[in-house]
Amino acid sequence: MDNLPNNPMQRAHAARRCLARTRSGKSCQAPAIKGRKRCRMHGGKGSGAPHGNCNAWKHGARSDEMQRLAALLRGVADDE
């Protein structure tokens, strides 16, 4: 059985503290999310950034369509 008390406020006081630092440089005193090291205000509820390069942003500047457009524009500029 749990060693934690039944009172919700006592459970909150007994919870692990957030390991983040505030803007003033002091440590955050908010309770950490269960199973995490950060509180809800410092990203404890988020899943984090996606893993791997397959989730990287693709700008399309090197796509075939853009290459053809660039070649066409270079041809127009050369004609002038």
pLDDT tens figures, 36-47: 889 988 888 877
Q: Name the amino acid, one letter, at 27.
A: S
**Residue listed under structure tokens 């988020």:** 46
Q: What is the mean pLDDT of residues 72-78?
A: 83
Asked if residue 1 has pLDDT above 50, the reply is no
Tens digit of pLDDT for each residue in 6-58? Answer: 888 888 788 899 999 989 999 999 998 888 889 988 888 877 777 777 777 77
Give 40: exposed, middle or buried? Use CB within 10 Å, 0-12, 13-18, 19+.
middle
Give the pLDDT of residue 24.
Answer: 92
In angstroms, what is the C-alpha Rg of the chain? 26
Element (H, E) at 8: helix 8-14
Give the pLDDT of residue 17.
Answer: 93
Asked if residue 80 has pLDDT above 50, the reply is yes
